[in-house]
Structure 1
Amino acid sequence: MNQHLPILRVQTARGYPVARDGIVICFFMHRSHGAVAHALWRALQTYRRAILPQALSWYADDNGDWQPLDEKGWKHIREEILERRWPAACHIDLEEHCDAPSGYNFEYDGLWLDAPLFYDQDTTCAVTFTLPTEYMVEHGPAHVRALALELARELPFSFGYASFALVAPDGRWFAAPNTIGALRDRYPGLDIYKLRETSKDIGTNARGAYWLTFLGLPLLGRLGGLEVLRRRLPFPEVSLQTLPPLEGERVLVTLSEWPEAIDTEQHERPSPQLLALGHLLEPHLHEERSNWFYFLNNNDRQDMRRWIRRFCP
């Protein structure tokens, strides 16, 4: 229910805002940038149509400086995505505000997986689209689900998800580690992400079980396909939907009407269907190779591993 999605605002010790609550829609694509660029551009246009006209107002240039996302800025972003030449990486960060956590954010990390650099077989291209929690409260979870599904139809994902999350592009939440650690422990349903780090090593594995979980090949095949999903997730709240045009090769698993924050201080527990999906995915969960959750118990990698498997009973 929507009242179970808390309002979260995270600041540094000096009062500088670094993160806020929202909804993240994320996809990992085990394809090179050139193979996903046009689909990515179409998905970005879908996202733009769904949000306020000026919700994306700034972009980070190659030097990390903020530039206005006006007509000239959009021309630059289009060229970056569609005309980026091999083997140059494509990193895009579009935000609502350049001086505060953005409820609306588009973040893309695109690589040429066949470039003669340091990429390995587990590197992916990855993208996130975020929404403020208020957007879901105003439009309803069915609208957000429909938007996530429309985005997914464009993208050749191997894994994707939508979740209640701590929105902080490029992992800027790291500036307030104590607060983030406390929120992580209080709300197991709160996704904390760092797109660029995870995209380096997730390969075709899963990141976890979520409110909306998108499964593509080869992961879906390793799980046993649609029939196994139906058998292992026999809950009335769960729906399974195949995505055209490749029906049977891509599936959306919806666990409930609303995402779960799971406030442990209110003695809330994960739903049975969330735990069932977590158990099904456990053999296929990725292992982070860089400990970007440095606030987790003084670089305790086992603590990080436990957090990734928090819904695996």
Structure 2
Amino acid sequence: MLLRDGVSIAFYLRHSHQDVTQRIEHTLHVFQQAIAPASLAWYCDYEGDFHELDSTGREFLEQEFHAPHFAYVRLADHINGVGDYQFFYDGQWREQPDSRDAARRLSAVSLWLPTEFLEAQGSHVVHELALKLSADLPFASGHAGLAFNGQLSLLGVGDLIHRERLRHPGMDVPDESASHYLDQCIPGVHWMNFLGPPVLTELGGVEALRGRLKNPGTTVQSLSGGRAVITLGCEPDAGDVTQSPVLPAYRELARVLEPWLYFQGDSRPWRDTEEQRRWERRFLD
């Protein structure tokens, strides 16, 4: 399988790798417990090749998690096509003295669940899992929701995602490299939207958000550390542009967050910048 739908959960941290190592390891442990009996039995090396997580693999992970500056960890439950469960961590060195861009690069952790997990366990379990994963992370922002997961480097897969995403605006197309460019921006609107400082502070806090979000299915929950999560409905919704209205709660939140939303075309080239911008502004225009 080269392309599948699922649930993507991601968090972005304005912290260097060495400051959050133990928290990231704890997040991985929480995720592994939640998906059992499935297991993240394969790891990716620096060349992009996957290997079974044996004693050599565990030593590799230990070295990455305790590296002094940067870290790269990618785990999957299998390597035959697109995996059902995945864990990815990109730890940055934000104080790197010889880099002008280091301070805007965020450390990021993302996790992948198959749609079958959502269907079998229920959206409330996925919601609680996302909250549990976030609990120990000093995130600046984060999100959880439906997404496409595919081998984008293969011919035709990107075109297929493009056609499907135009019809289903509630489906995200994860961009793992976005954390290198986010700085203080937020990567789009999703089913669950985690906000921390400085954006939540600039929005006026939880009560101000509640006053601006009127959709009956939207909830704003206060979290520890001056953070919050905005959930758009009791379950994630892919949306369908052939039906009306199309995800009104998503459109409402997008208008509130617009000054802080990240647009890829503003910071780096794309094969069709205008097409990408239309996709990223799908809840605004």
Query: How would you bin the TM-score normalised by the shorter chain?
Result: over 0.9
Please list, as runs of the form range in 1=range in 2, the aligned pairs for 1:241-280 lying within 5 A after superposition: 241-244=221-224, 246=225, 249-265=226-242, 267-280=243-256
Taking a change above 3 Å as real, the CA distance of residues 144 and 185 of structure 1, as seen in their structure-2 partners, is: same
Structure 2 residue 196 is the aligned partner of structure 1 residue 208: no
Structure 1 residue matching 2:229: 3-state secondary structure: strand
In structure 1, the residue matched to 2:113 is: 131
In structure 1, the residue matched to 2:173 is: 192
Taking a change above 3 Å as real, the CA distance of residues 200 and 175 of structure 1, as seen in their structure-2 partners, is: farther
Shift of 1:143: 0.3
Unaligned runs of 5+ in 1: 1-16
Structure 2 residue matching 1:183: 3-state secondary structure: helix
Shift of 1:71: 5.1
| 8 Å Cα contact 1:262-1:268 kept in structure 2 | no
In structure 2, the residue matched to 1:233 is: 213
Instruction: Give, in whole Å, the separation in 1 of the partners of 2:174 and 2:14.
Output: 18
Structure 2 residue matching 1:92: 3-state secondary structure: strand
Q: 2:148 aligns with which of 159, 166, 181?
A: 166
Structure 2 residue matching 1:116: 3-state secondary structure: coil
Structure 2 residue matching 1:56: 3-state secondary structure: coil
Q: TM-score, normalised by structure 1?
A: 0.85
Instruction: Give, in whole Å, the separation in 1 of the partners of 2:136 and 2:95.
Output: 23
| 8 Å Cα contact 1:164-1:259 kept in structure 2 | yes
In structure 2, the residue matched to 1:287 is: 263
Shift of 1:111: 1.1
Aligned-residue RMSD, C-alpha: 1.8
Structure 1 residue matching 2:75: 3-state secondary structure: strand
Per-residue Cα deviation, 1:75-129 (whole angstroms, up to 9, x for no partner): 4313311x1023xx21111011123101200011111011134334321111111
Structure 2 residue 267 is the aligned partner of structure 1 residue 305: no
Per-residue Cα deviation, 1:267-301 (whole angstroms, up to 9, x for no partner): 2543322111010011111232234xx5xxxx231
Q: 1:113 aligns with which of 94, 100, 121?
A: 94
Residue correspondences, number: 282
Instruction: Give, in whole Å, the separation in 2 of the partners of 1:300 and 1:269.
Output: 28
| 8 Å Cα contact 2:206-2:221 kept in structure 1 | no
Structure 2 residue matching 1:46: 3-state secondary structure: helix
Structure 2 residue matching 1:164: 3-state secondary structure: strand
Taking a change above 3 Å as real, the CA distance of residues 126 and 194 of structure 1, as seen in their structure-2 partners, is: same
Per-residue Cα deviation, 1:193-229 (whole angstroms, up to 9, x for no partner): 121x201111121111111000001110122211221
Residue identity matched to 2:239: I
| 8 Å Cα contact 1:90-1:110 kept in structure 2 | yes
Taking a change above 3 Å as real, the CA distance of residues 305 and 120 of structure 1, as seen in their structure-2 partners, is: farther
Shift of 1:56: 1.1
In structure 2, the residue matched to 1:153 is: 135
Residue identity matched to 1:183: E
In structure 1, the residue matched to 2:68 is: 85
| 8 Å Cα contact 1:241-1:252 kept in structure 2 | yes
Instruction: Give, in whole Å, the separation in 1 of the partners of 2:44 and 2:71.
Output: 12
Question: Percent of pairs identical after alignment?
Answer: 33
Per-residue Cα deviation, 1:155-203 (whole angstroms, up to 9, x for no partner): 111110001001237x5577522212111211111100121x2011111
Instruction: Give, in whole Å, the separation in 1 of the partners of 2:189 and 2:54.
Output: 37
Structure 2 residue 78 is the aligned partner of structure 1 residue 94: no
| 8 Å Cα contact 1:41-1:78 kept in structure 2 | no
Instruction: Give, in whole Å, the separation in 2 of the partners of 1:172 and 1:58.
Output: 20
Structure 2 residue matching 1:158: 3-state secondary structure: strand
Instruction: Give, in whole Å, the separation in 2 of the partners of 1:163 and 1:240.
Output: 16
Instruction: Give, in whole Å, the separation in 2 of the partners of 1:200 and 1:262.
Output: 29
Shift of 1:264: 2.4
Structure 1 residue matching 2:22: 3-state secondary structure: helix
Shift of 1:257: 1.0
Instruction: Give, in whole Å, the separation in 2 of the partners of 1:192 and 1:174.
Output: 17
Residue identity matched to 2:86: N
Structure 2 residue 202 is the aligned partner of structure 1 residue 219: no
Instruction: Give, in whole Å, the separation in 2 of the partners of 1:254 and 1:134.
Output: 21
| 8 Å Cα contact 1:105-1:131 kept in structure 2 | yes
Structure 1 residue matching 2:108: 3-state secondary structure: strand
| 8 Å Cα contact 1:262-1:269 kept in structure 2 | no
